[in-house]
Chains A and B, each alone.
Chain A
Amino acid sequence: MTPTTMIKTNGISKTVTTTQGQLQILKPISFEVKAGESIAIVGASGSGKSTLLSLLAGLDEVSEGEIYIDAQAMHNMDEEQRAQLRGAKVGFIFQSFMLVQSLTALENIMLPAEIAGHKDAKKRALDILELVGLDHRASHYPNQLSGGEQQRVAIARAFISKPKILFADEPTGNLDAANSDKIEKLLFELNQNSHTTLVLVTHDPVLAGKCQRQLHMQAGELTEVFANTSAEQAARQVG
């Protein structure tokens, strides 16, 4: 069975208004991502990686072009519809974890399931908390957890509603080497097990190398797209 297309963009661009006039921060970009595929968006700071991610995730509106997520035309949707789409099909992991400080680890994980109206939110959350190895920290608040633990909670939160696409923005950017390794391992493991499409923004070449493809960004332009060989990926994922 040929994998379906999960993300498709046709000439998407982003222009912002500044005091000096219009500024195009993202030049027209077109590419496709297959279901279950993992891609890394790489590039220097200010190259437009995060802007691209925000458009793909529907957090921001495109100025021009088309985006299809799981065959749905996201560029035609308003904020509410995009939120609905995110709730149904998308998971997120952020560099700064973005946990709700006033909710416990368990409640943070339950949040997407609750928003989606799942009755078994708590059970699902407990299961996945165990999977990320934090069942003993269920009732702790984010500021009582280490950085690595917080990111594991964030990963558990991202996977609870079984998203079709997972967006990760510098997921190891705030972590030390040992914790980064653990998080990367967990991320790819869950990704493979649940056949999620992974879109990862990073400036870490090692982490990027673990994805199937890399999209290189420079000054708002997509300059290069290339595939990592399976051997490279395997070596990096193990290493």
Chain B
Amino acid sequence: MTDHTLSLAWRLFRHETKRGELTIILLAIILSVASVLSLSLFSERLKSALTEKSAEFIAADRVLDSNSPVDLAWIEKAQEMGLNTAHQTYARSMVFANEQMDLVDLRAADTGYPLKGTVKIADKPFAPGIAIKRLPASGEAWIESQLFQTLGIVVGDNIEVGDKVFRVSKVLTEVPDAGFSVFGGDPKVLISNADLAATKVEGPGSRINYSYFFTGDSSDLDSYYDWLEPQLDSEIHDWDSIEDDETGIGRAVGRAGQYFLLASLLAIVLAAVSIAVAAQRYSMRHYDPVAIMKTLGAPKKMVQQIYLLQILFITALGITIGVILGFLIQQLVVAAIADKVDVSIDVWHWKPLIIAVFTGTVCAVLFSLYPLMKLFSVSPLRVLRRDLGANLSSRLIQFIASGGAIFLLMWSYSQNLKVSAILFVSGIILVFSLLMVTYGLIWVGRKFAQGKMGAWQLAWARIHRRAMDNSVQLISFAVTIMLLLIVLVMRNDMVQQWQNQLPQGTPNYFLVNISQAQQPNLQQHFASNQVDIDKFYPVVRGRFVAVNDEKVRTAVSKEDPDEASNGRDGLGREANLTWSNTLQNGSEVVEGQWFGLSNSSDTATERPYEVSIEKSISERMQLSLNDKLTFNIGSEIIDLKVTSIRDVNWQSMQPNFFFVIEPRALQNFIPTYISSFNLPSDRKADITQLMQPFANVTLIDVDARINQLRNIVDQVSLAVEFILILVLAAGALVLIAQVQASMDERQQELAILRTLGAKGRLIRASVVFEFIIIGVVAGAMAAVANELSLYMLQTQIFQMSASWHLEYWVIAPLAGALVVGTLGALGCWRLLSLNTSQLLRQMV
């Protein structure tokens, strides 16, 4: 490369930048880099903030659960590697006081606990909790409110746990790692780890679980796990992180992460579309200079070098400005939500910066490849024959280069072949079907618009004449609108589903052990206190003794999937059995038939009693349809036939049951009842008064857990909202770039019409109509394509139920017409503000 080439390239670049010739392509690169950087930096920061926040729900970043104490060297190794550690022992044990006893969830924690989140305590049962840093001192126990009821004690009384007596010094209102199921299990008792040995609950046959908590940098955690993994025994040990969490929080965070990823991918596609549009325009504007240089004797190589250098300069400048701008935008967003999201988001991540620069470069290079190749092929003969364009015309190269670039970016960024492939394939199908539809529409439209040359006719004539250009433009509009729709609708559906899980008025208290006689009184008492009480579910306790006449060793103890999965329950523990003729809300029969629907030929009297079992318990206990289950209820043995398996929504905050039995089977048993109610936080003080007449009824307070869950859902929703705004802004800029580019092509025609004396109003109206037509068609096509992509995304990636979005079939064309029409009108207004000679001169 000669000095002249470099200086010529630099000079051309400098002048063109100054004169605004490069504005569009520069803006496109800036836009791509800025949107990708701000979006991915923001989502990366938010994701880690949310993970941080969610980590509170397992009280650490990682947890090692074990059935037996682990080698101390493992913990020392973790500390050596710079990790913080803590330890808690769980045991199920009986406590005694006042000649009463109850089974409790005993937790003995060491001083480090909890590494994430806080423990909250109160001075009175059911009073609001206050966060506290310390743990119970030796000889002290903090117990949950319901246990005060069951044992009939007050703060300051003593309880016996195993061989040791503890003074109850506080009410335990919240621990971070409580779990999220409705029946939080047995009441929790928190003591110091130092006191555990004295209780002697550890011993042969006892079911003790040991949890070791770790926090630290994720890289340190990963390398520690790499060291630890070979020593773990999957029968004994279980390594957990919040990402593995299958509860509501884990899923919400996981889904939000996928949404951010989707939004960023779409932002990349948007940026790519805008670069492709801008590069095309840039190339066409340089046909003349290339022809002139070639005529003046410039060798092909020199022309290539000049333009490649220019692209390099533009890319470098665009990336620099884009990075600065993207960072500022992101910083602004962070500042805007800082008071709403109570997590620190001031962490710098390198990955988004690398992605943004990589994206900018790949987009600039691969998307300008075809336009540049076209540019290089311009014949010098163009200096004499102005109508000559580029010699190269291979849309295949264009499709391969740009399609390849998009796919490469999506894949390398998401590292998720499925998401990338779904978006990419639906994109390709969309582009091809759009091409067909566009041609059809353009042809049909022209047929309808024949007659006197009014603004409509001019508009259709223009669309028809430039069918190919318009189809490309239409497709880019449609793709842009579709991408925006996907981001918008996904957000709406997702937030909706989250909020549906926890609607206003979700029960935050559960009542257990209500006798049949108490039912009407309780109902009346609550009603007179303006508290709505939910449905009463009858419950009998039954011991699960055999499957197909074979005695079972593993027993199901209670309605908590998290807890049951630890397998901590002793043999022969009782299960809550309910009966109902109707399937509960949020439950779905996945195998077999609900009661009475099976086509059994057995007569009513011979027919065995039916039972419906929950899916996870069926898997865990290897139960299948038609198995015979035997329960011991009271003193009676009862056989049940499995006739259905249900998928239960454990996040529904309703009483849920592993076993639902046909009412006929349990008619001779006297049940107790379970119910729930919602009490607003500001009426928390009324609890005592509400419960006073029903001393034997146990109250379970899940308010704190619901608030935790709602809080995180709110924060994730808010984050999703901001991501949506960012993507919408990026999309709007892309639309502006597209209209701007297409305005150029219309300039010549406007000049001619103007010269021929056409009124400004006619020209303006015809251009606006043209853009309105394009907007409506693009919007309509985007709505259809959106439906297809959403169906695939929701069912394949987000594991949500897919639904129709018919309102967007109306909204999208209208919005398309409005936005594209307005942008067209604005662009046209700029052109028409020039006089005819300026217009003509600009054309030269």
Contact = CB atoms under 8 A, between A and B. Distances in A.
Contacts of A97: 844
A102 B297 contact: no
A86 to B, nearest CB: 4
A111 B134 CA distance: 80
B12 A84 contact: no
A98 B293 contact: no
B384 A102 contact: no
Which of A94, A97, A102 has most B Cβ within 10 Å? Answer: A102
A60 B383 CA distance: 11
B15 interface: yes
Given A92-B295, A92-B296, A103 B11 contact: yes
Given A94-B384, A114-B4, A117-B4, A102 B296 contact: no
A169 interface: yes
Given A50-B384, A83-B380, A114-B4, A98 B19 contact: no
Nearest to B838: A143
A50 B296 contact: no
Nearest to B14: A102
A85 B289 CA distance: 19
A80 interface: yes
B288 A100 contact: yes
A107 B383 CA distance: 19
A88 interface: yes
B295 A59 contact: yes
Given A102-B15, A115-B4, A53 B299 contact: no
Contacts of A96: 386, 844
Given A84-B297, A86-B297, A143-B844, A104 B15 contact: yes
Contact of A94 (B300, B383, B842): B383
Given A54-B381, A102-B16, A111-B293, A80 B299 contact: yes
B381 A59 contact: yes
A112 interface: yes
A59 B294 CA distance: 9
A100 B386 CA distance: 14
B753 interface: no
B298 interface: yes
A141 B15 CA distance: 10
Interface string B294-308: 111111101000000
Contacts of B380: 59, 83, 86
A83 B297 contact: yes
A116 interface: yes
Nearest to B295: A92
B133 interface: no
A28 interface: no
A64 interface: no
B384 A103 contact: no
B8 interface: yes
B244 interface: no
A88 B295 contact: no
Contacts of B4: 114-115, 117, 121
Contacts of B15: 102-104, 107, 141
A107 B384 contact: no
Interface string A68-97: 000000000001100111111010101011
B385 interface: yes
Contacts of B16: 102
B401 interface: no
A26 to B, nearest CB: 14
A35 to B, nearest CB: 20
A47 to B, nearest CB: 14
A97 B384 CA distance: 11
A57 to B, nearest CB: 8
Given A86-B296, A143-B844, A114 B383 contact: no
Nearest to A90: B297
Given A59-B383, A92-B383, A102-B15, A115 B844 contact: no
Given A92-B383, A94-B383, A114-B8, A84 B288 contact: no
Contact of B298 (A53, A83, A103): A83
B21 interface: yes
B620 interface: no
A80 B381 contact: no
Interface in B691-716: none
A100 B298 contact: no
B2 interface: yes
Nearest to B18: A102
A80 B842 CA distance: 32
A80 B302 CA distance: 11
Contacts of B384: 50, 53-54, 59, 94, 169
B292 interface: yes
A96 B844 CA distance: 8
Nearest to A53: B384
B380 to A, nearest CB: 5
A107 B2 CA distance: 17
Interface string A6-26: 000000000000000000000
Contact of A60 (B2, B294, B381, B841): B381
B365 to A, nearest CB: 22
Contact of B292 (A53, A98, A169): A98
Interface in B1-54: 2, 4, 7-8, 11-12, 15-16, 19, 21
A98 B294 contact: no
A136 to B, nearest CB: 20
A91 to B, nearest CB: 9
Interface string B376-414: 000111011110000000000000000000000000000
Interface in A166-207: 169
Contacts of A60: 379, 381
Given A79-B300, A80-B299, A83-B299, A115 B383 contact: no
B12 to A, nearest CB: 6
Given A60-B381, A98-B288, A143 B841 contact: yes
Nearest to A91: B296
Given A54-B381, A83-B298, A115 B293 contact: yes
Interface string A46-70: 0000100110010110000000000
A59 to B, nearest CB: 5
A92 B382 CA distance: 13
B79 to A, nearest CB: 65
A215 to B, nearest CB: 17
Task: Give the one of B11, B15, B16, B297 with max A CB within 10 A.
Answer: B297
A50 B387 CA distance: 14
A115 B289 contact: no
Contacts of A99: 292
B21 A98 contact: no
A121 B5 CA distance: 13
B295 A86 contact: yes
A227 B822 CA distance: 63
Contacts of A169: 384
Contacts of B293: 100, 111, 115
Contacts of B2: 117
Contacts of B844: 96-97, 101, 142-143
29 contacts: A54-B385, A57-B295, A59-B380, A59-B381, A60-B379, A79-B300, A80-B300, A83-B294, A83-B297, A83-B300, A84-B299, A87-B298, A88-B297, A92-B383, A94-B384, A98-B288, A98-B292, A98-B295, A99-B292, A100-B12, A100-B293, A111-B293, A112-B297, A115-B302, A117-B2, A117-B4, A141-B15, A141-B19, A142-B844
Question: Across chains A and B, which 3 residue pairs bring their CB atoms closest together, nearest first?
Answer: A87-B297, A86-B297, A114-B4
Given A60-B381, A94-B384, 7 more contacts: A54-B385, A83-B380, A88-B297, A99-B292, A102-B19, A114-B8, A116-B297
Interface of A: 50, 53-54, 57, 59-60, 79-80, 83-88, 90, 92, 94, 96-104, 107, 111-112, 114-117, 121, 141-143, 157, 169
Interface of B: 2, 4, 7-8, 11-12, 15-16, 19, 21, 288-289, 291-300, 302, 379-381, 383-386, 841-842, 844
